[in-house]
Structure 1
Amino acid sequence: MSGLSLEDIVAWRNTAPLGIGTGRMAKPFRWNFAKREQLGTWLDRADRFHPPHRDDLSALRNAAARILAFSNGADLAFVGRSPENFYDYLSGCFEGISDTPDLSLIPFSMRWVGEGGVDAIAAHKFSGLAEALAANGLSPQALAASQRPVALVDFIAYGGTMEALVSVLNRMARETATDWNAVQRRLRIIGLTHRTKNSPNTWRWQQNQDWLGLIPDARIKNVSAPSGFLFLIANADDKVTYSFHAGRWDSDVTGAPEPSADQLRGMAKAAWLYDLGNTREERETLARLIAAHPEMRQPATRALVSALKRG
C-alpha cells in the first residue's frame, strides 16, 4: 500500500468489508460516494479525468428516466459493472428522499455458464458467489419475502448474463429450499439495448430464450440507447470495481485495494455523477423526463415524480 497518506490508510481501515478476520468471504469492495470522508485524497489523484460528454450524459439521463418509468415502483438491481453510472447517478438523485426505489449494484460477471450449466459450478465457488449476491440483497429468501418486485437492470446483447444470473438464483433457491415460484413472481427485467429502427421484423433478445421458462411471470422491458453510449459503459469506461468473475468467487477479501489509475478515474466519474444527481436542478430535470412517458399514469410513477420534485 505504498504511496498512501495517513488519511487514506485510515479511510481504508474504516471501509474494510465485513468478514475480515472471520474466515468468511465478503462481498467485493466498493467505495461509498455519499461518504466522502471515506475516500481520503483518492479523488484528487484521478489523472486525466473529464466529466461525461453532454451527449453521453443526455443518453444516461434519458435512459434512467425510462428505466424508472418502466420499473413501476420496483426496486432496482443493477447487474455487473456496465450499469455503474446509472447506480451512482440515481444514488445521488435519491439521496435524502423517501419513498424512492431501493438501489443495489450486483457483483456478477458470467456470460456463459459452461458445460453442465450452473449446477456444474463447484460448491466452494458457488457459495462465494451466493454470499456476494445475498450481501447485496439478491438472495431467493429476500426476494420471496420482499414487499416490492425487483427489476434486474443490465446491458443486454444476447441475454447470456441475465440467463446465468437467473439460473444462479434458481440454484440458490433449490439449495435453500426457497419457494422458487414466490421468487420469480417478484422478478422484473429491464434490458439496455442498442437503438435500432423499430419494425415488426426487429430482432429482440428475449425471443427464443428457453431459460425464460424459469421466470414465466417476469415482466420484460427494453430501454434502447445510442450504440456509442452503450459501448462506452459496457466496454470503454473506467470502472470503480474489479470484474467479479469466477476466478474471484472463492477469494478472501482483505480490505479496500489501492485503486489503480483506471479505478481512480472511475471513482472520479462516480463522484461527479453522484453530485450531479444530488442537486435540485437535476432531480427536476429527471422528474420532467419521467413524466413525459405514458407510464406516468401508474400511481407508483406519479409518486416517484412528486418525490423528486419535492427533493
Structure 2
Amino acid sequence: MMGMATPNLPFRWDLVGRDQLGNLLEGRPEPALPYLDALIECGARVLARSGDGDVHFVGRSADSVFDLLSGALSATSRPDRVRLLPFSYRLERPLLAHEVRQMRANLDAMGLSPQRLARRRRPFVLADLVYAGYTFTHLYGFLRDWVDEERESWDVIRLKLRFLGITARGKTSPKTWRWWQDAEWTTDLPRRNVINVSIHPYAWSYLGNHQHKLTLSFRRIRWADETVTAPRHDDKTLDALAEAVALVERGRTSAVRTRIARQLAEEPSFAQPWLRSLALELRRGRS
C-alpha cells in the first residue's frame, strides 16, 4: 500500500459565512448574473436527481450552480449537501507514483476514498458539466484502481457512487447520442447511478467555456503545489468573486428558494419523502 501524502487543496472563500471577505468587494459594480433562470432550473434538478445524496461538483465548471444552491440550502437543515471537489486530469501520460499519492490524499480529505465510500450511508454524487465525459472517465478509473488496491468491496461501493452529467440541451430522439453510451465503465454501475441534467446550450457554453472562474484549474501540476492554498486578488478573480457572492445571496432569497421548490415538485422523484421535505424547508426557510 502506498503511503499517504499531506492533503493540498485550493483556497476558496467561504461565501455563505462571508467572514473571510472583509472589504474585498468594496466599490465593485453589481454583477449581471447571466443565465440565472437556467442555473435555478439546473440546481433544482441536480438536487432532485441526487438520490438524497451529497453532491460534489467536480472541477470548476459548475461553480455557479454550487454557489446558488449553497445560498438556498443555507436556509434549510441540509446546508452541507453541496460541496466542491477540485479535480482536473487529462490522460497526457500515466500518473507517477508521487502524483497518485498526492491525489489520493486530496480526495481522501474530501471524503472520496475507498474506505470512506464503503462505509457511508448516503450516495456520493459527482456532478460536472459533461461533453464526452473524459473527466468522469479518468476519475472513475483512478477510483477503481484505488478500490482494488485497498481491497475494499466494489459491490458495496458501486451502489454508493453516482455520476451526474450536466449536458447542453438538444433535440431528443431515439438516435440522440449520449455521453455515457460511449463510456464503457458506466456499465459497472447501476443504470440509475449515471444520470443527466440538461441546461440551455448558451448557459452550458458560458459555464464551461467563457466564465472566468474563482480558482485555477486543479491540474496535476498543481495537486501538490502549495501556492494554490493562498487567495488571489487580481481583478479577474475579484470579478469572479463578486459574481459568486451575488449568486449565493440570490440563492438565499425567498423568491429563488420558492422557484427551486416549484421545480423540485415537477420531478418524478418528488414522490420521495426526503425531496418533499426539502421543498417544504426551501419554501419556509430556517426560522
TM-score after normalising by structure 2:
0.90
2:79 and 2:268 mapped to 1: Cα distance? Answer: 19
Number of aligned residues: 281
2:191 and 2:206 mapped to 1: Cα distance? Answer: 32
Residue 34 (str. 1) matches residue 34 (str. 2) = no
Partner letter of residue 73 of structure 1? D
- Correspondent of 1:121 among 83, 95, 102: 95
Partner letter of residue 77 of structure 2? S
| Percent of aligned positions that are identical | 35
Give, in angstroms, the shift of residue 302 of structure 1: 1.2
Residue 234 (str. 1) matches residue 208 (str. 2) = yes
SS for the counterpart of 1:37 is coil
Structure 2 gaps, min length 5:
none
- Correspondent of 1:248 among 216, 222, 231: 222
Deviation by residue 1:113-149 (Cα, 9 ceiling, x = unmatched)? 245xxxx311211222222222222222222111101
Matches within 5 A, 1:157-306: 157-216=131-190, 219-253=193-227, 255-306=229-280
Kept in 2, the 8 Å contact 1:74–1:151? The answer is yes
Deviation by residue 1:156-211 (Cα, 9 ceiling, x = unmatched)? 10111100111111223233332222222101121111111111111111113222
SS for the counterpart of 1:109 is coil
Residue 64 (str. 1) matches residue 43 (str. 2) = yes
Give, in angstroms, the shift of residue 255 of structure 1: 4.1
Deviation by residue 1:234-261 (Cα, 9 ceiling, x = unmatched)? 1111111110001111223474233222
1:107 aligned residue: 86
Partner letter of residue 272 of structure 1? A
CA-atom RMSD, angstroms?
A: 2.0
Kept in 2, the 8 Å contact 1:82–1:155? The answer is yes
Give, in angstroms, the shift of residue 212 of structure 1: 2.0
1:60 and 1:163 mapped to 2: Cα distance? Answer: 25
Residue 307 (str. 1) matches residue 281 (str. 2) = yes
SS for the counterpart of 2:55 is strand
Partner letter of residue 273 of structure 1? L
Kept in 1, the 8 Å contact 2:56–2:83? The answer is yes
1:202 and 1:102 mapped to 2: Cα distance? Answer: 32
Deviation by residue 1:61-106 (Cα, 9 ceiling, x = unmatched)? 1111111121231110111000101111111111142146621101
Give, in angstroms, the shift of residue 217 of structure 1: 6.0
Structure 1 gaps, min length 5:
1-22
